[in-house]
């Protein structure tokens, strides 16, 4: 094992050419006290080393960090499932998974401890109640909607307009020169864990023991998150947004032909009214 701050360490399984793990020495117990953070990237090894350092330092809880070298544009659904399947079951039982974009930066330190606290307690002061053991929260994101409409675009309302009523969360953005805030809660008071139907995939934290895997019918880089959330929602899992983990995102996202193709597939699969 090596410290994540010492660089990248290749696994010895069949994915070793793609998958790089920076191991921590943190060992768990019966509670979910470990984080496994993973991301897909086409950036350089030096970038990954620096990003791993940022994840390790900012989380405050000695996570295991996994980077997947994705130069060929493999679909995120298959990449994330491959990472998921590469994690031993023992580690899955002890850990919360975090899947994130490679172009985010956490604005505060200790967010990992905060996240584990959200998952391991009910958020209302009873610090010994493990949410996962009572199956109350399964997925947490930073932005999402409490109602997904037929258009299957999480930030739009039924009329296809920006949804000011059902959205929750806050995400900072940057163009390299300045930062600005997307305040999806728009003045509404967001609970520490705010129930929603789906969350955006720039940050997905979830319990690997309770959640179903990603739907690999969705190709490319779009709707991996919405399909993952909605499938788990329909299976009875609880999804929430938290505003307690502020991040800065370098990308605002694009609505490409691939995005539209996956939107149509999602509509066909789920036929939301």
Q: What is the pLDDT of residues 17-69, one digit of tens each?
A: 666 665 443 433 456 778 899 999 999 999 999 999 999 988 888 889 999 99
pLDDT given at position 82: 97
Q: What is the pLDDT of residues 161-219, one digit of tens each?
A: 999 999 999 999 998 889 999 999 988 998 878 999 999 999 999 999 999 999 999 99
Q: pTM, whole model, 2 decimals?
A: 0.86
CATH 3.90.550.10 holds for 4-270: yes
β-strands 203-206, 139-141 pairing: antiparallel
Confidence of residue 273 (pLDDT cuts 50, 70, 90): confident
């Amino acid at each position: 094992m090596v410290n994540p701050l010492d660089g990248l360490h290749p696994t010895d399984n069949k994915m070793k050419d793609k998958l790089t793990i920076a191991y921590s020495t943190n060992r768990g117990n019966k509670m979910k006290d470990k984080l496994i953070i993973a991301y897909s990237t086409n950036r350089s090894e030096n970038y990954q080393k620096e990003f791993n350092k940022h994840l390790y330092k900012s989380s405050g809880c000695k996570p295991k960090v996994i980077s997947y070298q994705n130069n060929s544009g493999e679909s995120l659904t298959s990449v994330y499932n491959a990472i998921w399947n590469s994690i031993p079951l023992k580690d899955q039982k002890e850990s919360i998974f975090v899947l994130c974009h490679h172009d985010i930066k956490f604005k505060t330190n200790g967010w990992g401890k905060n996240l584990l606290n959200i998952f391991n307690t009910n958020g209302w002061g009873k610090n010994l109640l493990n949410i996962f053991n009572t199956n109350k929260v399964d997925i947490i994101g930073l932005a999402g909607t409490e109602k997904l409409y037929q258009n299957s675009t999480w930030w739009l309302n039924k009329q296809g307009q920006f949804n000011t009523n059902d959205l929750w969360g806050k995400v900072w953005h940057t163009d390299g020169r300045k930062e600005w805030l997307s305040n999806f809660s728009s003045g509404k008071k967001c609970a520490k864990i705010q129930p929603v139907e789906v969350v955006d995939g720039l940050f997905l934290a979830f319990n690997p023991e309770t959640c179903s895997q990603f739907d690999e019918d969705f190709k490319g880089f779009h709707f991996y998150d919405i399909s993952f959330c909605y499938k788990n929602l329909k299976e009875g899992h609880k999804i929430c947004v938290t505003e307690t983990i502020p991040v800065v995102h370098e990308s605002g996202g694009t609505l490409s032909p691939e995005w539209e193709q996956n939107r149509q597939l999602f509509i066909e699969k789920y036929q939301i009214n």
